[in-house]
Each structure stands twice: as structure tokens, then as C-alpha cells.
Amino acid sequence: MRAVIVTTEHRAVVFGYAEATDGDVIDLKDALWAIYWGTTKGLNQLAHMGPTATSKISAPADLQMRRVTAVIEVSEEAEKVWREYL
């Protein structure tokens, strides 16, 4: 499982753990929705540094993502910050 951020046609931004990311449907474990991310450097900052102190992050759940537009690899540093919400 690798840490990724998935975005969709409907503007969802979700962090989670995926085994495969090349199909039409991506299964995510411990998925966290970024409701508001409060970054100064945009969406990629979530993947590079993780959520900021002003971010609003959902409770975790396992889910399937559909209509995916991007899969972004998450750095080890950012993953540590995301895991604080689990």
C-alpha cells in the first residue's frame, strides 16, 4: 500500500492508502477527505508537506474513488502529518 492523494471530476481531494491506482476505480484504505486545506502553495503542498494547521480534514473511512482525475504520490513527511488525523 502506498500513500496517495486522489482527485476526482467532482473536485474531491482525498488522502489514503492504495495498492493499485491504474484502474477506473481506486480503493482507498483509511481515506481522509480534505474539506479545506489552507495551503499557500496549492494542492501539491498537501502531498509534499501535508495539511496545515488551518486545514479541515474528515474522519477516516475505507472507500472507492471513481471518476479520478489525478493520483499524487505523498512524501514521507506529508504522510506523517496526514496520519495524525487517523
Q: What is the pLDDT of residues 16-60, one digit of tens each?
A: 999 999 988 999 999 999 999 899 999 999 999 999 999 999 999
Residue 61 belongs to what H/E stretch? Answer: strand 61-66
Whether 63 has a pLDDT exceeding 90, the answer reads yes
Phi and psi based region of residue 30 (left: phi greater than 0; alpha: psi -120 to 50; beta: remaining): left
pLDDT of residue 15: 98
pLDDT of residue 25: 93
pLDDT of residue 58: 98
Kind of pairing, strands 25-36 and 13-18? antiparallel
Domain 2-83 carries which CATH code? 2.30.30.100
Residue range 54-78: mean pLDDT, rounded: 97
